[in-house]
Amino acid sequence: MDDETANPETGADAPLDLLDRATRGAGLLVAGVGPDQWHAPTPCEDMDVLGLVEHMIAALDQFAEVGRGGQLDPTAQRPILPDAAAEEYRTASDGMKSAWSAPGAIDRDHDMPWGATPGAALVEFMFIEEVAHGWDLGRATGQSSPFDEDLVRLALDRARQYDDETIRVPGMFGPAVDIADDAPMIDRLAAFLGRHP
């Protein structure tokens, strides 16, 4: 067994690598929002484009805090100015990756509102969420998906590992929506997570 296989923190399918790839793609979408699109509706109920981007940034900030040993505040929101959104997103994603790259952060359990949760599971969930919200943002702003098909397939595979009681709760993801088996992979992920492609 080589070092990459032996170490769950490295390699193409490791949680931190998946999160990095997801945030790089989502960051491109944030940077691609047009000046007249910030108050356009999104697939996320009660969120316009600006609200969605604020939510994405706040989630990265909060899970970075968890990675540093702090507590999650699911109500946290950080208002941003549209002109600063791309930089704010980069800063938040860099902070998230830095927190979870610290020695031991991904290996230990973290105190969450629903109970102790392994760090790797939290990072993996954030990976799924960033790809899903990337779909939301792309759909709202007419941008094509920046995520490669293998990454999206991994997000769908990981999402399918959760039971409904864990993933389909208010504030997370809704019931799966029927979609053709030959639909684009990103739309199949969106449908599985309750979106309507």
Q: Given this model, what pLDDT does residue 166 score? A: 63
First to last CA, the chain: 41
Residue located via tokens 């959104």 = 85
The verdict on residue 94 lying in a domain is: yes
Residues 6+ apart with CB under 8 A from 164: none
Give tens-digit pLDDT for 18-71.
999 999 999 999 999 999 999 999 998 889 999 999 999 999 999 999 999 998
pLDDT of 1 higher than 70: no
Q: Given this model, what pLDDT does residue 30 score? A: 98
Averaged over 94-102, what is the pLDDT?
A: 94
The verdict on residue 2 lying in a domain is: no
What's the domain range around 52? 9-192
The verdict on residue 92 lying in a domain is: yes
Q: Given this model, what pLDDT does residue 81 score? A: 95
Nearest CA among 105, 150, 109 for reference residue 131: 150
Give tens-digit pLDDT for 61-94.
999 999 999 988 877 888 999 999 999 999 999 9
CATH of the domain at 79: 1.20.120.450
Nearest CA among 106, 121, 127, 124 for reference residue 24: 127
- How many domains are there within the chain? 1
Q: Given this model, what pLDDT does residue 176 score? A: 81
Q: What is the mean pLDDT of the chain?
A: 87
Give tens-digit pLDDT for 150-162.
999 999 998 888 7
The verdict on residue 197 lying in a domain is: no
The verdict on residue 152 lying in a domain is: yes
List, as own/partner pairs, every contact residues 182-185 make where C-beta atoms lie below 8 angstroms and the sequence separation is at least 24, other chains included: 184/145, 185/149, 185/152, 185/153, 185/156
Distance CA 137, CA 185 (A): 16
DSSP H or E stretch at residue 116: strand 115-118
The verdict on residue 62 lying in a domain is: yes
- Whole-model pTM? 0.87
Q: Given this model, what pLDDT does residue 3 score? A: 38
Confidence of residue 167 (pLDDT cuts 50, 70, 90): low
Q: Given this model, what pLDDT does residue 31 score? A: 98
**3-state SS, residue 84:** helix
The verdict on residue 3 lying in a domain is: no
The verdict on residue 37 lying in a domain is: yes
| DSSP character string of 74-137 | TT------GGGHHHHHHHHHHHHHHHHHSTTTTTSEEEETTEEEEHHHHHHHHHHHHHHHHHHH
Q: Given this model, what pLDDT does residue 171 score? A: 56
What one-letter code names the amino acid at 149? E
